[in-house]
Every structure is written in structure tokens, then in C-alpha cells.
Amino acid sequence: MQTSVQTDRSPSFALLHWYDAHARVLPWRSAPGAPPPDPYRVWLSEVMLQQTTVAAVQPYFARFVARWPTVAALAAADEADVMAAWAGLGYYSRARNLIACAREVARLGGFPDDEVGLRALPGLGAYTAAAVAAIAFGRAAVVVDANVERVVARLFAITDPLPTSRPAIRAAAATITPDVRPGDFAQAMMDLGATICTARNPRCLLCPLRGPCRAEAAGLAASLPAKLAKKAKPQRTGHAWWIERDGKVWLVRRPGKGMLGGMRALPDDGWSARADGDATPPFAGNWRKGGVVRHGFTHFDLDLQLMLCDGAEIGKPWHDDAAGEFWPVATIDAAGLPTVFAKAAQLALAER
């Protein structure tokens, strides 16, 4: 890996100087120039921050470290409790990988301190391994997330569209990654992209890298990085069943693998790309519509028709042969439902 030598004229020097004065205060960070933070906190935050905003992550991070303050504590946790605590953050495969990784780190006796060792852990890709290596262990790793992609594409005026430009962006980022304070540099690049070199209306007049920025000089900053046009997401439809009796609602556990794997949920019909039509409920009854939940996933949009049935209408004890549990409606928030089913629950509660 090619890294830069930090001089008082280098972009890395200018950026670190800016970071010393303007670093965001975040609960998983150390102050600029301070000793590195606990690798557990760095790793946990980076996993949570994948495709999720800092504002959304902060309360989840606080609850996780309060309940599981060490990687060993998380490794010993019940998987269902971790999945429930993760509910609402989305991308639930991250939570399953989180548990697997914590258990492997506990078995090893601690986190590996370099990218190679970190990449061998469950769920750690190139970005997360580089971020933990740089921030927690001071390794001169090239850390490239979406914010860094934007900064580097503009700094070097890389006009090829994403995702084809990613190798060029990574190579360019390597040329300015310093051997000193690499963790602070990585976080400085993230902060610059989040607060100054933003996707829309970049604040170029305030940018510490304005001088060497080729896109700013060419008047291209706001148009980079270029992106290929997104394809329209397919539309799916489905039904979810709200089965309530004696103040409790029937919840199922979704299969461990696949969409929303391992999460508690309302029973549903599996969703599909078919046109909306009749779906077979779990049992015969006087079912009525309770509203439609519209929810966007990464690769498709979903219209989920909520169907309601009162307890008095439940005939035979169908649940004796079904895998699930009756959960108190009064504490439905504690069930850890994924967002799409939490929305459905809110519709059902509004109908009660």
C-alpha cells in the first residue's frame, strides 16, 4: 500500500489541522491526538454505521454498550436479545454477523490488530477492517466509505461514475493516507464529507482541502462523484396477519437466514411480485383490512396489507400446531419487531 509522508504542505497535514479544531464529538471516538478508543467500540460503531446515519446510530450504540459493555459480554448474550435490541436499524444480517464476530473475538481473546486478521472475522469487509485497523490500532490503512469516496473523487477530479470509479478512488486515497495519526486522518475524511464536502451544496469556501481540490478549480465539485442512473426498484405486495386475543398478539420467529432472519414478526404470506389479491389467512375468521404499510427495502418496495382478526372470532386452537408466541400488546415495543412490522403494529393499535 502506498501512503503519503505528512508534511506541512500535504493534504493530510491540512486535514488533520482542521480536524484538531472541528472534530465531531461522538461516543465511540477518542479526541484528536488522544490514545485510540477501545476496539470493541470502534467495531460496534462501524458495523452500526453501515448505510445508517450517525443520528440514528447514537441511541442504539448507547443502549448496546450499556447492556453489553465488552465484546465478551456481547459474545455471551442471547441471540434473540441482540436481534431485538437491533430492531429498527435495518440490514439485519449485520446483527447476525455481529453476534458471530463477537463470539469469534472472544474465542481469540481479543481483536486482531491488522487488516488481514480483522478481515478473517465474520462480517468484516474491506472497509470495516481498515477502519478498525486505523482507528483502534493506528495502522496506516486506506479507509474509504461513502463520505471518503466523495471527498477523494472531488479532490482528484475523478469523473468516471460510481461504482466503476472505486478502484481509482481507492488508489488516490492511498496516496494521501499518512503514516502518522492514520485513525484521526480516517475520521477527519469522514467528518469532512459529512459536514463540508457534502453530497449537495458543498461548502467549498470552508474546506481545508480547497487549495489542492481539482474539482473545485474546474467548477465540478457539486457534480462529483458521478453515478450511474439507478434502476427502478421492483414492487412487491403481501399480507400480514394481526391475531389478537386477551390483550396479546401472535408473533412468529422468522427463519434464521434470509430477509429479516431471526427476528420476531407478524405472520405473513411471504410477499411476492404478484398483483395484489386474496391471500389465505392462518385460519377462517371475520378478517378485515387494517391499512397498508408502505416500506422500502434495498432492492424492492413493499406494500403490506394488514389484516385484523379479533380474539372472539378465533375458533379452534390453531396455534397449538404453529410456531410462535402470544406477546402482550401493551409491551409490543419490547418485542424488537423489524420496522416494517412495527409500522403494521402501529396501524393495528390505531384500529383497536
Tell me the pLDDT tens digit for each residue of 239-296. Answer: 999 998 888 999 998 887 778 888 899 999 888 655 455 578 888 778 889 999 999 9
pLDDT band for 1, please (50, 70, 90 cuts).
Answer: very low
pLDDT in tens, 316-326: 555 555 678 89
Supply the angle between the helices 79-86 and 54-67 in degrees, to the nearest 10: 150
- Asked if residues 271 and 302 have their Cβ atoms less than 8 Å apart, the reply is yes
181: left (phi over 0), alpha (psi -120 to 50) or beta: left
Higher pLDDT, 11 or 176: 176
DSSP secondary structure string, 96-141? HHHHHHHHHHHHHTS--SSHHHHHTSTT--HHHHHHHHHHHH----
Query: 42-69: buried (b, 16+ CB within 10 Å) or exposed (e) per residue?
Result: bbbbbbbbbeeeeeebeebbeebbeebe
Q: Are residues 40 and 172 in the same domain?
A: yes
For residue 5, pLDDT over 90 is answered with no
Q: What is the pLDDT of residue 7?
A: 47
pLDDT in tens, 59-116: 999 999 999 999 999 999 998 899 889 988 888 888 889 999 999 999 999 999 999 9
Cell of 205: 469556501
Q: Are residues 163 and 289 in the same domain?
A: no
User: Nearest Cα to 264, choosing from 319, 345, 347?
Assistant: 345
Residue 5 lies in a domain: no
Q: What is the pLDDT of residue 285?
A: 79
Count of the separate structural domains present in the chain: 2
Mean pLDDT of the residues in the chain: 89
Q: Are residues 213 and 254 in the same domain?
A: no
The CATH number of residue 246's host domain is 3.90.79.10
Residue 70 lies in a domain: yes
Q: Are residues 218 and 183 in the same domain?
A: yes
For range 182-204, the mean pLDDT? 96
Domain range for 283: 235-351
Q: Are residues 54 and 101 in the same domain?
A: yes
For range 211-239, the mean pLDDT? 92
Q: What is the pLDDT of residue 311?
A: 58
Alpha helices in 50-88 (DSSP H): 54-67, 71-75, 79-86
Q: Are residues 217 and 289 in the same domain?
A: no
Give the separation between CA 202 and CA 219, rounded to whole angstroms. Answer: 12
Residue 255 lies in a domain: yes
Residue 230 lies in a domain: no
Q: How far is CA 281 from CA 235, 239, 240, 269, 273, in A?
A: 22, 9, 9, 8, 19
User: Nearest Cα to 119, choosing from 128, 107, 106?
Assistant: 128
Domain end point (choices 223, 248, 264): 223
Residue 175 lies in a domain: yes
Q: What is the pLDDT of residue 145?
A: 94
Q: Are residues 291 and 317 in the same domain?
A: yes
For range 127-135, the mean pLDDT? 97
Domain end point (choices 200, 223, 246): 223
Domain end point (choices 162, 193, 223): 223
Q: What is the pLDDT of residue 2?
A: 46
Greatest mean pLDDT range, 13-22, 281-290, 333-342? 13-22
Q: Are residues 309 and 192 in the same domain?
A: no
Percent pLDDT > 90 in the chain is 70
The residues annotated with a catalytic role in the active site are: 46
Q: Are residues 94 and 191 in the same domain?
A: yes
> Collapsing DSSP states into helix, strand and coil, what is residue 303?
strand
Residue 3 lies in a domain: no
The CATH number of residue 83's host domain is 1.10.340.30
Q: Are residues 239 and 312 in the same domain?
A: yes
Q: Half-sphere exposure of residue 15, counting CA atoms within 13 Å on the CB side?
A: 30
pLDDT band for 157, please (50, 70, 90 cuts).
Answer: very high
Q: Are residues 196 and 289 in the same domain?
A: no
Q: Are residues 170 and 41 in the same domain?
A: yes
For range 223-242, the mean pLDDT? 91
